[in-house]
Amino acid sequence: MSKSRHLDFNVLAHINNMQLLAKVIVEGFILGLHRSPFRGFSVEFAEYRQYAPGDDIKHIDWKVFGKSDRYYVKQFEEETNLACHILLDASASMAYKSNPEGMSKLEYGSCIAACLAYFMMRQRDAAGLMVFDSKIRAMLPPRLRQSHLTHMLTELENIKPGGETNVSGPLNEIAEGIKRRGMVLLISDLMDDPDKVLSALQHFKFQGHDILVFHILDPAELTFPFDTMTEFTDMETGEKALVSPEGARPIYQEQLRRFLTHYEKGCADIKAEYKLFDTRKPLDIALSEYMFRRSKLV
């Protein structure tokens, strides 16, 4: 998709209603697909209903018309065997944002979760939501009902950053509770011991789940743009440190490179899909990543 199709983040950041936000992004994304290579999920006939203005005439059943002299269209229902579990990190570190007018990592991750849930329901995939920090704060098992989607979006709309990060603990607990194989989508800044996180993801893999990891970072975390003496505060412990950026930058950049490589390689080793997201990246790209993964499963 070309950049001109992406929605303006300055507009999105001021939409407070999560259902409206998801609808705006998803409907705009679908309109932008045109002849998408992702079309063609298997469908099965569901029922007939009387033709209404605006219906696509290609779905009119002419044999029924010949017998009844009335127009009826075939309705189809997408086949789905997919239960999709969205796991959203709501720890304190996810509250960080370098631009006061932009989105925090948690706001960005919540928007991704809302858009994916809205889109999954539209595609007849059952979606569920688990919110965690050092423990599970909310758990909504996958369902395929409009009321369930409303419940999920309400949860995301009211989400607040929590306590310290412990990604691996809640993930292992969630994995133990999922009985049906499906897709697991982890949305997190992954500010935890990579080996422990990857071990927890391996738990899902052992159970046969398809895994997609969205690694969410702020642009300042990726570029370290500071140029004067700066006091940094740990958002989870409150610990402070006065740092000279000139001396710290090469060390930080090397540590960041190792951190990202560890996750990228570790996910590849367990055959989990890994995608790094800068919070400035258009949200519809997340939908593209999900659709690509989904199309490989049907």
> Which pLDDT value is given to residue 61?
76
Residue 17 binned pLDDT confidence (cut-offs 50, 70, 90)? low
pLDDT at 285 over 90: no
> Which pLDDT value is given to residue 123?
75
> What's the token pair of residue 246?
């000139």
Tens digits of residue pLDDT in 24-48? 666 666 555 443 333 334 444 445 5
> Which pLDDT value is given to residue 62?
78
- Output the pTM of the full model: 0.76
Q: Which domains does the chain have, with CATH numbers?
A: 3-35+81-295 (3.40.50.410), 43-78 (no CATH)
Reference 152, options 118, 123, 199; nearest CA is 118
pLDDT at 220 over 80: yes
CB 212 within 8 A of CB 273: yes
User: Can you tell me the mean pLDDT for 226-238?
Assistant: 87
CB 275 within 8 A of CB 212: yes
Q: Look at the block and give the residue holding tokens 């939501």.
A: 129
Of 21-25, 68-72, 74-78, 270-274, the one with minimum mean pLDDT is 74-78
pLDDT at 2 over 80: no
How far is it, in rounded angstroms, from Cα 103 to Cα 217? 11
Tens digits of residue pLDDT in 172-194? 999 998 888 889 999 999 999 99
Burial class (CB in 10 A: 0-12, 13-18, 19+), 251: exposed
Percentage of residues in the chain having pLDDT higher than 70: 77
> Which pLDDT value is given to residue 138?
95
pLDDT at 267 over 90: yes
> Which pLDDT value is given to residue 276?
93
Amino acid at 261: T
- Position with higher pLDDT, 144 vs 93: 93
- Position with higher pLDDT, 185 vs 66: 185
Residue 16 binned pLDDT confidence (cut-offs 50, 70, 90)? low
Please, which residues bridge with residue 129 across strands? 86, 140
- The chain-wide mean pLDDT, for the chain, equals 81
User: Can you tell me the mean pLDDT for 125-130?
Assistant: 91
Tens digits of residue pLDDT in 128-165? 999 999 999 999 999 988 889 889 999 998 999 998 88
For the chain, give the secondary structure using H, E and C.
Answer: CCHHHCCCHHHHCCCCCHHHHHHHHHHHHHHHHCCCCCCCCCEEEEEEEECCCCCCHHHECHHHHHHHCCCEEEEEEECCCCEEEEEEECCHHHHCCCCCCCCCHHHHHHHHHHHHHHHHHHCCCEEEEEEECCCEEEEEEEECCHHHHHHHHHHHHCCCCCCCCCCHHHHHHHHHHCCCCCEEEEEECCCCCHHHHHHHHHHHHHCCCEEEEEEEECHHHHHCCCCCCEEEECCCCCCEEEECHHHHHHHHHHHHHHHHHHHHHHHHHCCCEEEEEECCCCCHHHHHHHHHHHHCCC
Count, residues in the chain: 298
Residue 296 binned pLDDT confidence (cut-offs 50, 70, 90)? low
Reference 294, options 215, 210, 213, 175; nearest CA is 210
Reference 236, options 136, 159, 156, 134; nearest CA is 134
CB 50 within 8 A of CB 72: yes
Reference 76, options 45, 40, 54, 55; nearest CA is 45
How far is it, in rounded angstroms, from Cα 17 to Cα 195? 37
- Position with higher pLDDT, 170 vs 2: 170
